[in-house]
Structure 1
Amino acid sequence: MKGFNQINIQALRLYVAVLDQGNFSEVARREAMSPSTVSRVISQLEQALQTQLLYRNTRAVSPTESGKLLAEHARQVLAQLDLAALDLQEQDSEPGGLIRINAPVVFGQRHLAPWLHELNARYPRLNIELMQTDDFIDPLQDSVDLLIRIGVMTDSTLQARTLGQQNFRLAASPDYLARFGTPVTPDDLLNHSCLVFKGFAGSQRWYFREKDRDWRSWNLRGALTSNNAETLAQAAIDAMGLVVFPTWLIGDALRDGRLVSVLEDYQVSTSPEPQTISALYPNSRRPSIKVRAVIDFLVEKFGSPAYWER
């Protein structure tokens, strides 16, 4: 422990630089030092740690096993210090400039658009470009800073921060249930009009399960299929049938009684895998201050659990 107390940050930076360059001379040139000074710093580091860190020869240097271990930890320490320095520099900085955001159409209308004026008031130097589409977007190819995406998250090339869970309800209008009866089990849905979303992957399947049991899927049909969620939700409100939709879409209609939740003893979904509402950004060590500011703002406004779940 005493040896570690004698190590300074500059020595660690020089040590990592020597490993990256493979010799003392190039590091000395870049740091405006003599090669003998660089060599002496590394020797002092070895003395402090009481272990050999480098194999030296006339052409190059290479790390010993102890040297490799130190390098691994040194890189982590230096990276954290760099982040801390950046945080301190940005502490009094105000997010500004253009931020390109892409979001699903309906979610953007329901849960982003109502907050834009407040986001603008908080960060007046921020210029927001919000594009709403349900198509696949490659943030690198399409120069997008922040993606809002809903569903099963599988893309490991992007960093993600969860904004909320996507929870589903099976619902129908009181008028529909009064006319055609209330289903008691998922099998009863075969005798009902089920309003199913149909996208590029085909008609959505509905999954149900009782507590602690496996998911089962049903292919159902009814008076209407559509690739527009709001159209189907309105059709359900107008007593055309039942829908399975997330609470962020039909939460208001459930709260004010235009729709009624059905089969509440069952969990319902459109996939057996957990689905989230997430903020995604290109995989890098650190998102920009403007991206962090927008994500933090949305986390604050959505709440936990999200306000549409309450």
Structure 2
Amino acid sequence: MEDFNQINFKSLRLFVAVLDQGSFSEVARREAISPSTISRVIKLMEQALKTQLLYRNTRTVSPTESGKLLGHHARQVLRQLEEAMRGLQEQDQEPGGLVRINAPVVFGQRHIAPWLHELCQCYPKLNVELMQTDDFIDPLHDATDLLIRIGVMADSSLQSRTLGHQHFKLAASPAYLARCGIPATPAELAQHSCLVFKGFAGAQRWFFRQSHTAWVPYSLQGVLTSNNAETLTQAAIDGMGLVVFPTWLIGDALHNGRLVSVLDEYQVSTSLEAQKISAVYPNSKQPSIKVRAVIDFLLEKFGEPAYWER
């Protein structure tokens, strides 16, 4: 076991840096040490582990299979150390300073803005900048600490925590259903006025399925198409037709009876992929204390399941 004393956090950090840069000289320049020092550290590690970690030539270095395996575990160890050190530094700190939040317009109005007063009461040293837009925002370039985003997460350069899952309902007003009847199957929607959201990608399709069968798409139309969800929701409440929207948007109208859920024996969606409501932040291993405070606050207030689902 004495051989393993040659391996410490510093040597692991240098080894990972060599893997990332593919060069002793570049790491030496960044660390302000000599390339021979780095080479000696790697050799001592190889002697301790009794295996070759790197292939060396005059221009570059590359990992052996053993080197790749060690690199994988070394990154995990260093990441855990960094998180532990940050946690120790922040355990007695109170969240404070400016936290810049970006959220979709309607979701921000419905489910972020109403909680800001209580958030700032909980953390009096916190200042909140809330920007609401449905446009794509890159937090790495738009000076944003936290994004609230709804949909399918695909960007691996970002970290996220799930605040809730997006569930859809097909709904209409009691007056519309009394006048036009209640559809018994998705196919019958062709005889109804369907109020469809139309965004930059075109008019949404509605997908229906029973149990775990395949989704079946329907392209439907009615007296109104719009790119504004609030407009379509109000039109449905006013009796103009049926809508498919997430429960976070029409939950209140369903609870107070202004809208009635239809075809409850079917699952409905506007996408083939499951969609989440996520708190997204740049890939910094662990969010800052102020960002964690906001995320934890929202998770507590939204609940599981989210209050708009109950």
Aligned partner letter, 2:223: A
Residue aligned with 2:208, SS: strand
Residue aligned with 1:128, SS: strand
The residue aligned with 2:77 is 77
Residue aligned with 2:171, SS: strand
The residue aligned with 1:107 is 107
The residue aligned with 1:200 is 200
The residue aligned with 2:169 is 169
Q: Distance in 2 between matches of 1:113 and 1:71?
A: 44
**C-alpha contact (below 8 Å) 1:235/1:241 kept by paired residues:** yes
The residue aligned with 1:88 is 88
Q: Is 1:237 paired with 2:237?
A: yes
Q: Shift of the alpha carbon at 1:253?
A: 1.2
Residue aligned with 1:241, SS: coil
**C-alpha contact (below 8 Å) 1:3/1:50 kept by paired residues:** no
The residue aligned with 1:187 is 187
6-15 vs 168-177, which moves further:
6-15
Q: Distance in 1 between matches of 2:133 and 2:122?
A: 26
Residue aligned with 2:277, SS: strand
The residue aligned with 2:289 is 289
Aligned partner letter, 1:174: P
Over the aligned positions, Cα root-mean-square deviation in angstroms equals 3.5
Q: Give CA-to-partner distance per residue, 1:6-47, whole Å, 9 cap, x none.
A: 855456557667888999999999999999999998777666
Q: Note closer, same or farther for the CA distance 1:95–1:267 as it changes in structure 2 (3 Å cut).
A: same
**C-alpha contact (below 8 Å) 2:11/2:41 kept by paired residues:** yes
Q: Give CA-to-partner distance per residue, 1:232-276, whole Å, 9 cap, x none.
A: 111111111111111001111111211111011111111111111
* TM-score normalised to structure 2 length: 0.83
Q: Shift of the alpha carbon at 1:79?
A: 3.0
Aligned partner letter, 1:130: L
The residue aligned with 1:126 is 126
Q: Note closer, same or farther for the CA distance 1:151–1:36 as it changes in structure 2 (3 Å cut).
A: closer
Q: Distance in 1 between matches of 2:15 and 2:132?
A: 49
1:1-40 equivalent positions in 2, closer than 5 A: 4=4, 8-9=8-9, 12=12
Residue aligned with 1:87, SS: helix
Q: Shift of the alpha carbon at 1:87?
A: 1.0
Q: Is 1:305 paired with 2:289?
A: no
Q: Note closer, same or farther for the CA distance 1:64–1:170 as it changes in structure 2 (3 Å cut).
A: closer
Residue aligned with 1:117, SS: helix
The residue aligned with 1:145 is 145
**C-alpha contact (below 8 Å) 2:6/2:44 kept by paired residues:** no
Which structure has the greater CA radius of gyration?
1
Q: Distance in 1 between matches of 2:199 and 2:19?
A: 53
Q: Distance in 2 between matches of 1:110 and 1:208?
A: 27
Residue aligned with 1:298, SS: helix
Residue aligned with 2:147, SS: strand
Q: Distance in 2 between matches of 1:29 and 1:225?
A: 60
Q: Note closer, same or farther for the CA distance 1:47–1:257 as it changes in structure 2 (3 Å cut).
A: same
Percent same amino acid at aligned positions? 76
Q: Give CA-to-partner distance per residue, 1:56-115, whole Å, 9 cap, x none.
A: 99xx99987656654553343233212211110011112222111111111111100111
**C-alpha contact (below 8 Å) 1:139/1:145 kept by paired residues:** yes
Q: Distance in 2 between matches of 1:142 and 1:100?
A: 10
Aligned partner letter, 2:147: L
The residue aligned with 1:209 is 209
286-295 vs 85-94, which moves further:
286-295
Q: Shift of the alpha carbon at 1:213?
A: 1.6
261-270 vs 14-23, which moves further:
14-23
List runs of 5+ in structure 2 lacking aligned partners.
none
Q: Note closer, same or farther for the CA distance 1:5–1:307 as it changes in structure 2 (3 Å cut).
A: farther
Q: Shift of the alpha carbon at 1:156?
A: 2.8
Q: Distance in 2 between matches of 1:300 and 1:19?
A: 41
Residue aligned with 2:124, SS: coil
Q: Distance in 2 between matches of 1:167 and 1:191?
A: 25
Q: Note closer, same or farther for the CA distance 1:97–1:50 as it changes in structure 2 (3 Å cut).
A: same
Q: Note closer, same or farther for the CA distance 1:110–1:47 as it changes in structure 2 (3 Å cut).
A: same
List runs of 5+ in structure 1 lacking aligned partners.
none
Q: Distance in 2 between matches of 1:210 and 1:62?
A: 53
Q: Shift of the alpha carbon at 1:285?
A: 2.3
* TM-score normalised to structure 1 length: 0.83
64-73 vs 118-127, which moves further:
64-73
Residue aligned with 2:127, SS: strand
Q: Shift of the alpha carbon at 1:48?
A: 5.2
